[in-house]
Structure 1
Amino acid sequence: MYYQETLRPQIHFTPKENWINDPNGLVYYEGEYHLFYQRNPNGNKHADMHWGHAVSTDLYHWKELGTALEPDQLGTIFSGSAVVDKHNTSGLFKEETGGLVAIFTHDNHGEQQQSIAYSEDKGRTWVKYEGNPVIPNTTIKDFRDPKVAWHADSKQWVMVLACGDHIQFFGSPNLIDWTHLSSFGKEYPSDGGVWECPDLIHLPVEGTDQKEWVLIVSINPGGPNGGSAVYYFTGSFDGKEFHPNEAATDPLKWADEGRDFYAAVTWDNTDDTYWIGWMNNWDYANDVPVSPWRSAMSLVRKISLQPDGGNYLLKQEPVIVSEPVQVRSESSLTIKPGEKAAYDVTLPGTIDIQLSQPAKQWGFQLVSDQGEVFKLEINQTNNSYTFYRTEGQQDFSDKFASEITGSLNGLDIQKITAIFDHCSFELFANDGVVVSTNLMYPSGAITAVELYTEEAEVEVEQLSMNELPTIWK
């Protein structure tokens, strides 16, 4: 039965069958959150790109719909975005209350142009604009992934477009006629990777009444642990140019230093800001050992900024609206070096750990009924974490097995939430200021979690384990 296969995620969106990658066209409209996505309806590898479509009323349960956009004489349908044209600025709608407009890349054997389509029935059917492309091809090879939003201060639609090793900004009064505004990023290192799937968002800063502009960039290759990853800049945007807080010589700020969070973009037309990423990595995406589907989306995350000295850190909180079933709760737990606190676990589930005080080196591991171990280790002394993905199925790619490391951002880690599905592990430390998303493919079923410490006793103030309900019911 669909959605019940071995390793099929139960709390992450997957299609019934075939390939998906980047989330596209994220928009909230008339009670529905729309998730469009790159889709090959004819096979299990990246090819023949269409837009697939799913909807949700709560960002947790999803209903898969049919194909939204199909290839045509201008090419296949690459990534893009969607907006609510509330005042019919485009003039495409019969009613002045407007409707949905999708902005996407047409790809014709590597020649890339930007086009639009519109829908008057809540995204179920789409009409492509007869004057496509609205931004014709340039001499830039990688010219794609338009992300559009209304910029109130300058009273225009603003497009962020990926252009190989930099970003270009365009402005439009009507989603049809576009003017180049500025370029950003050529001075920043790309390490041979291509910039993709940008986003420009205005995020609240926790504990204040201010907001800060954030520019999101996905890069492949060039991630901190190899392959694909997402980083971000904070700064200001004046309707024409983005001015970063970070100098070109500063270290890159990664949104997620795990191996499997890519092409993340935000929903349009929401009060709070939510985003979702493709849970895979181009190093091995075409070969991961799942069928009849291939690839999943991350959990949806509510995002904001947390002050960090004179700058800001991205904060991500997973959206889980269904009531979890608590399977264990303990308080005042002491773990001694050389000992393990072991518990049965049911997937999909979570483990929440609150320490009484930071510990130098400690962690926990998931263990399968085949003896496979997937371990997370926190090393406060080195300001780092490591996720050990060296066991389980890995013969499908020589780039999969790895020890995945990331920064603790100089924070004392006292609180951890880990969310695990049948083939994934998502870490949210200190309420989501440190995040790591990683696939794993056990040969057996994960049945236990074990806490341990390396050097000194760990005082756990509170531990809780929960089972999460499937999103398919």
Structure 2
Amino acid sequence: MNTHPVMFVLLLLTLLPSPLLSAGVSGEDLVIADFETDSYGNWTVTGNAFGTGPAKGTLPGQMKVSGFKGKGLVNSFLGGDKSKGTLTSAEFKLSQPYITFLIGGGGFPGKTGMRLLHDGKVVREATGTNVEPGGSEALSQGFWDVSDLQGQTLVIEIIDDAVGGWGHINVDQIVQSDHRPSRVPMQKSIVVDQPYLIIPIQNGGEKVTLEVSVNGKPVRHYTTELAMTPESVDWYAYFSMDAYAGQEAVVRAERVRPDVFDLVAMSAEVPGSQQFYKEPLRPQFHFSQKVGWNNDPNGMVFLDGEWHLYFQHNPVGWNWGNMTWGHAVSKDLVHWEQLPNVLFPETMATGACFSGGATVDFKNTAGWKEGDEDVLVAFLTDTGAGEAVVYSRDRGRTFSWYEGNPIIQHKGRDPKVIWYAYDDTDRPLDETAEQLGGHWAMVVYDETEGQGQRTSFYTSTNLKDWSPQSHLSGYYECPELFELAVDGDANNTRWVTFAADGKYVLGDFDGKSFTPEDDSKLQLFHGNIYASQTFDNAPDNRRILIGWSRIEMPGMPFNQAFTFPHELTLRTTPEGIRLFSKPVKEIESIYTGKQTAVAKSLTPEQSFSLQLDGELYDVEATFEIGNSQQVGLRMGNNEIVFNAQDETVMGVTANMVDKTVTLRVLVDRSQLEVWVNDGATTITERNKTVGPFSLLEAFAIGGEATLSSLQVHQLESAWPKE
């Protein structure tokens, strides 16, 4: 290229950074340090807390660090909380009115933090947020208004001069900026003078940490999707605060707009609660939580006339996370009342409160009983710690954390505990067990390295001290264990075990180990059901099961739901002893009307129809297959079809009985449950119709069949009438 020398110099000048640009011009963010390199560059290090370069996230022995940007950050936890040191920047000239940064760790002024120095004097200071046990290693957005210092030469110093709990500091992304962050750390004190603390949620919003403390002790600590703006609120989460009535609570959010933080407030009711139970996808006789996410049912137990359903709950998000134990009770397994949550992550447990079971300590083996009330005892996985036990002296409304937790430390989760009572043929576990007439047995999922997926069995006489006994291979999470009579004969029983997928085996359990009758697993449940559990201590030796029905609820303030309660029995069949299921008889309490039909001929050209005017039904139809290829029911957009050629219903194997098939269908908003041949097979699926449908049709395809009988019960909602 031929270029005049003067033109070349001018071109070169345009390509080189000017002194003004390198200092930062108005309107342009200027990174002071992002800590993305392997060294601190021109920063000066003293002491042993900061090492020779930025950390790449969490350090050994530290809780998970989050909220930093990129791959590196300043983290003075090197060697634990006993190390000290300083990290000091080179001088820089201030050209913007704000300095923004991310900061976390200890909250001790003058000991753990970051300082801005002018002529050797501290002119601004920031610290982390943690001073008490618990807390979070999440970094929060911070800033300094330095408009009065523009044009001055400054230095930043990061300090760790503390030892002991939270004696460290985390810092990242220090930037000069011409605007303050729109979302900043916020804190306020409020008097608990209403039952609920309400929290504005935006589905898909940026996750931030929200903490509530009372008397200096954190009582709620959640990572949630706070609304980005007041206009973007999708729904309101809530914390029940009655336990702290009249006290002062401190609410902190790591990153929030002030006008959004104003919406975090005490309230007499939850915004949107007028529509609870009325939403288009809200199940009307299957339990679902008011807001937030659910997954596994937990701690299912009967005590003093109440069925207790605890459950995995994210109370501040539409998706999985923040595992808390929610709580609902029922007198009849149909009408449920949701009570305040009972087990909380990080402020009660060390980590999250994962799944587990519950029982009643009638013999007071743990010694926790005071007064006349029997103690309800629950077991859970405290993530990061192990299996834990909690106990309630107020009928399961609140729980105390056993000071000796964890009771078992291993790589596993989801403990289920039952009482194993001795009969004349049993050998007592020990002298204490002999005096008690039995012992406690725990089945728990075990992930011991090199052993594959399995369940393990432990025993105890006091619910606190547990001894390992045996293992059973081939089972993954949420184990279940119970004994059932065969054909109602109390002298002929089998033990049943299964895990989250519901595939079961029958066998013998001697209080310490399970011996299967057959190596192959059997399957009763199909479709969108997972992690089911049965009630402990059910009256009349009933075995009642509820599962997690994994069905999304788009556009709703809640997500997922539960199956209707199933009653389980063991029956003798030509193939052997098998597990059967049916809806609990208490469903009859919400029957409002009935239509029937008998002996209706069905051909490809002629179906049978009933006119309907609702959306909630219990339908039972029996078909004589004849020479047809398929028979089934149409209800709105749903087809429940039995295929005679491969003997399947909705793709699931379900054998005919003497050329006859029976279909029973519970129709609720958002979900269907199907029982085939008196409960030999059950299927949980989504209801493809939103709202009422006007026609039920029984049909045959590819030949003639007979609709032997049809019963259609219309149901009323089990939710409170307002």
TM over 0.5: yes
1:378 counterpart residue number: 642
C-alpha contact 1:366 1:447 (8 A) present in aligned 2: no
- Offset of 1:452 from its aligned partner? 1.2
- Offset of 1:358 from its aligned partner? 6.5
- 1:106-143: CA deviation from partner (whole Å, max 9, x where unpaired): 013xxx5100111111011111101111112x2x3xx1
Aligned with 2:357: secondary structure? strand
Q: Matches of 1:198 and 1:57 in 2, distance apart?
A: 26
Which residue, 561, 576, 579 being the options, matches 1:314?
579
Between the two proteins, what is the percent identity of the paired residues? Answer: 32
Which residue, 563, 566, 573 being the options, matches 1:301?
566
What RMSD in Å do the two structures reach over aligned CA positions? 2.0
Greater RCO, CA 8 A, separation 6+: 1
Which residue, 400, 404, 422 being the options, matches 1:127?
400
Aligned with 1:65: secondary structure? strand
* Worse-superposed segment, 408-417 or 77-86: 408-417
Spell out the pairing of 1:273-312 with structure 2 (5 A cutoff). Answer: 273-280=543-550, 288-309=553-574, 311-312=576-577
Richer in helix (by share): 2
Which residue, 406, 410, 415 being the options, matches 1:146?
415
**What is the number of residues matched between the two proteins?**
418
Larger Rg: 2
- Offset of 1:38 from its aligned partner? 0.5
Q: Matches of 2:657 and 2:517 in 1, distance apart?
A: 21
Q: Matches of 2:711 and 2:524 in 1, distance apart?
A: 26
- Offset of 1:446 from its aligned partner? 3.4
* Worse-superposed segment, 61-70 or 423-432: 423-432
Q: Matches of 1:384 and 1:317 in 2, distance apart?
A: 19
Change (3 A) 1:89 1:64: same
- 1:66 matched to 2:340? The reply is yes
Q: Matches of 1:73 and 1:55 in 2, distance apart?
A: 23
Q: Matches of 1:80 and 1:12 in 2, distance apart?
A: 21
Spell out the pairing of 1:311-390 with structure 2 (5 A cutoff). Answer: 311-319=576-584, 320-345=587-612, 346-356=614-624, 360-368=628-636, 373-386=637-650
C-alpha contact 1:38 1:50 (8 A) present in aligned 2: yes
C-alpha contact 1:49 1:77 (8 A) present in aligned 2: yes
- Offset of 1:381 from its aligned partner? 3.1
- Offset of 1:333 from its aligned partner? 0.9
- Offset of 1:449 from its aligned partner? 2.2
- 1:183 matched to 2:483? The reply is no
Matched to 2:578, the amino acid is: L
C-alpha contact 2:307 2:333 (8 A) present in aligned 1: yes
1:50 counterpart residue number: 324
Matched to 1:467, the amino acid is: Q
Q: Matches of 1:290 and 1:160 in 2, distance apart?
A: 38
1:102 counterpart residue number: 378
- 1:383-420: CA deviation from partner (whole Å, max 9, x where unpaired): 2212xxxxxxxxxxxxxxxxxx2111564443221111
- Offset of 1:367 from its aligned partner? 4.6
Change (3 A) 1:290 1:338: farther
Change (3 A) 1:366 1:421: farther
1:201 counterpart residue number: 482
TM-score, reference length from structure 2: 0.56
Aligned with 2:327: secondary structure? strand
Q: Matches of 1:351 and 1:214 in 2, distance apart?
A: 29
C-alpha contact 1:104 1:146 (8 A) present in aligned 2: yes
Spell out the pairing of 1:399-438 with structure 2 (5 A cutoff). Answer: 405-409=651-655, 411-412=657-658, 413-438=660-685
Which residue, 173, 188, 191 being the options, matches 2:461?
173
Matched to 2:529, the amino acid is: F
Change (3 A) 1:46 1:452: same
- 1:70-125: CA deviation from partner (whole Å, max 9, x where unpaired): 113511111011110001101122247641111111013xxx51001111110111
- Offset of 1:309 from its aligned partner? 3.8
1:163 counterpart residue number: 446
Q: Matches of 2:635 and 2:655 in 1, distance apart?
A: 28
- 1:211-243: CA deviation from partner (whole Å, max 9, x where unpaired): 11000211xxxxxxxxxx321111111111111
User: Which consecutive residues of structure 1, in runs of 5 or more, have no partner in the other structure?
Assistant: 219-228, 387-404
Spell out the pairing of 1:206-245 with structure 2 (5 A cutoff). Answer: 206=487, 208-209=489-490, 210-218=492-500, 229-245=501-517
User: Which consecutive residues of structure 2, in runs of 5 or more, have no partner in the other structure?
Assistant: 1-274, 423-427, 429-437, 448-452
Aligned with 2:342: secondary structure? coil
Matched to 1:75, the amino acid is: G
- Offset of 1:354 from its aligned partner? 2.4
Aligned with 2:622: secondary structure? strand
C-alpha contact 2:446 2:454 (8 A) present in aligned 1: yes
C-alpha contact 1:87 1:96 (8 A) present in aligned 2: no
- Offset of 1:172 from its aligned partner? 0.6
Change (3 A) 1:444 1:313: same
1:390 counterpart residue number: none
Which residue, 365, 371, 387 being the options, matches 1:89?
365
Aligned with 2:589: secondary structure? coil
C-alpha contact 2:280 2:691 (8 A) present in aligned 1: no
Q: Matches of 2:317 and 2:536 in 1, distance apart?
A: 30
Aligned with 1:322: secondary structure? helix
Matched to 2:559, the amino acid is: R
Q: Matches of 1:409 and 1:130 in 2, distance apart?
A: 53
Change (3 A) 1:44 1:441: farther
C-alpha contact 1:364 1:449 (8 A) present in aligned 2: no
- 1:5 matched to 2:252? The reply is no
Spell out the pairing of 1:229-268 with structure 2 (5 A cutoff). Answer: 229-247=501-519, 250=520, 252-258=521-527, 260-268=528-536
- 1:340-379: CA deviation from partner (whole Å, max 9, x where unpaired): 22333322102111235666533334454xxxx3212112
C-alpha contact 2:359 2:537 (8 A) present in aligned 1: yes
C-alpha contact 1:279 1:439 (8 A) present in aligned 2: no
TM-score, reference length from structure 1: 0.84
C-alpha contact 1:204 1:211 (8 A) present in aligned 2: yes
C-alpha contact 2:669 2:690 (8 A) present in aligned 1: no
1:400 counterpart residue number: none
- 1:37 matched to 2:308? The reply is no
